[in-house]
Chain A
Amino acid sequence: MVYARTLGGNTYTFQVSGKLWRNSLIMQDRETGSSWSHVTGRAIDGKAKGAQLEKLEAIETTWGLWYEAHPDTKVLEKSEEVKASHYQDYFDDPERMGLFRAQWLNEKMPGKTLVYGVVVGAHAVAVTDAALAGDEPVQIDLGATPVVVFRAADGGVRAFIPKAGAQGAGSEMEGLAVTPVYWFAWSNFYPNTKVID
């Protein structure tokens, strides 16, 4: 996830708090010491409690697809060679879901299913890879809001709200942030989430 870290005139710098909440990372800002969920971007305690960072439209994809789509990209410099994830075993094991019990885990699908989460107002939806495998974008009514979710040419999953009256290619749309996340975590944050699988 990528967040704008300026809010109400304050620019925060974040460090890794070492805390977990709902089995996911809590960021801590150096300016106030407040705790922020990296899944939602909301401050859960401290002086900033209740503040909401804006989540930007970042994607997760492979380097090959990203570079092909964005040949002018800049890339975070590596101070040393890194040739694999430290956590591949964790990713590959369907039984390992965080350190603590995933309280909202339910029987809809296996907890380690990767989903793409989208939030509009009070409504949340989780879309699976399987649902995105067709030729057509996935169209969802989220509350009263139509939302379109698709996998783009650079491999990233994106979502947008089509503007009323817009016509076909080149029309205006309002982009939405997409959160790639395991189902066990998403369902913990958004227990009333809609599921498209």
Chain B
Amino acid sequence: MARGTAAGNQLPQISNRHMREGTDMKRTMVIMTIIAAVAGGSAEAQRPEPKVVATVGGDDVYQVLPVGAIPAIDDPTFVSGAAANAQMSPGEPVLGIVLEGEARAYSLWQLDAHEIVNDEIKGTAIAATW
């Protein structure tokens, strides 16, 4: 992956403190799946029975919710780190990326309700997914 990255071109800094905090984050750093939405979310009440709509690679594809029932974000707006910091807790999990020198963060608590952000950073169209 050659695009601008947070890893950059120098060797990583590693610290014990961060590794310890990383372990604490274990339970929150996960790939979000609709599973969780269905299993734990408010969508449960309206959820129709999952229906097998296809089989791909030997595994069934289930339709669990209507398309778009969880609304993706198509026109994201952003605030500064200082403004966000006033509303966010230090332990709040985020998805972060640096592209072309620009850093962006997406709160995963916020993405619970959207799962996909159709975004663009310096002319590169990206999808942040959770």
Instruction: Mark A residues whose CB is within 8 Å of B.
Output: 1-6, 11-28, 35, 38-39, 44-45, 53-67, 70-78, 81-92, 96, 98-100, 103, 114, 129, 132-133, 135, 137, 150-158, 160, 168-177, 179-182, 185, 188
Closest residue of B by beta carbon distance from A35: B61
Partner among A100, A135, A171 whose Cβ is within 8 Å of the Cβ of B62 = A100
Count class of interface residues, chain B: 35 or more
Say whether A38 contacts B1, CB under 8 Å: no
Q: How long is the Cα–Cα vector from A128 to B64 in the complex, in angstroms? A: 30
Question: Which 6 pairs show the lowest CB-CB distances between chains A and B?
Answer: A64-B90, A75-B84, A18-B65, A70-B103, A73-B103, A74-B78
Q: Which residues of B contact A129 (CB under 8 A)?
A: 22-23, 26
Q: Which residues of B contact A13 (CB under 8 A)?
A: 72, 74, 118
B18 → A minimal CB distance (Å): 5
Q: Which residues of A contact B21 (CB under 8 A)?
A: 62, 65, 155
Q: Which residues of A contact B118 (CB under 8 A)?
A: 5, 13-14
Say whether B97 contacts A185, CB under 8 Å: no
Which residues 31-74 of B sit at the A interface, judged by CB distance below 8 A?
31-42, 50, 53-54, 56-57, 59-74
**1/0 contact string of B110-129 vs chain A (CB within 8 Å):** 10111111100000111111
Closest residue of B by beta carbon distance from A185: B31
Beyond A14-B127, A56-B97, A63-B107, whether A100 also contacts B60 by CB under 8 A is: yes
Say whether B72 contacts A16, CB under 8 Å: yes
Closest residue of A by beta carbon distance from B68: A15
Q: How long is the Cα–Cα vector from A76 to B112 in the complex, in angstroms? A: 13
Closest residue of B by beta carbon distance from A49: B56
Closest residue of A by beta carbon distance from B14: A150
Closest residue of B by beta carbon distance from A130: B23
Q: How long is the Cα–Cα vector from A67 to B31 in the complex, in angstroms? A: 21
Say whether B103 contacts A89, CB under 8 Å: no
